[in-house]
Amino acid sequence: MWLVGAGENGDKSVFESSHEMFYRWEKGNINLPEIVREALRAGRLPLAVVQLHRLQSKDLVSQMHRQNVFKEVQLIGRAFVYELFCKVN
């Protein structure tokens, strides 16, 4: 579970399960960089890998060539970390 923001009473103790994250990502049509960003912030990067694999499985059923899911998540995560690094300096 991970912190998602302020709760009903204004406290910051609302947690989201992995099932809820997947559901929100599916229904919200969130783009891949946003999925990786949220997963990194939550400390749940493997969920981003699983979600990307699920999306590719749906989109690329007819295609023979599949992209390397881990490499794509790594590139997106690297861009996000670089973005954070540039903001600090």
pLDDT tens for 30-70 read: 888 898 888 888 888 889 888 888 887 776 544 545 567 88
Beta strands in 1-89 (DSSP E): 2-5, 14-16
The mean pLDDT value of the chain amounts to: 76
Whole-number Å distance between alpha carbons of 30 and 19:
15
Question: What tens digit of pLDDT does each residue of 1-32 get?
Answer: 444 444 444 444 467 888 999 999 888 888 88
pTM: 0.65
Whole-number Å distance between alpha carbons of 61 and 65:
10
Percent of the chain with pLDDT over 70: 73
Which stretches within 29-68 are classed as H helix?
A: 32-42, 45-59
Quick one: pLDDT at residue 41? 86
Under 8 Å CB-to-CB from 44, ≥6 apart: which residues?
A: 2, 18, 21
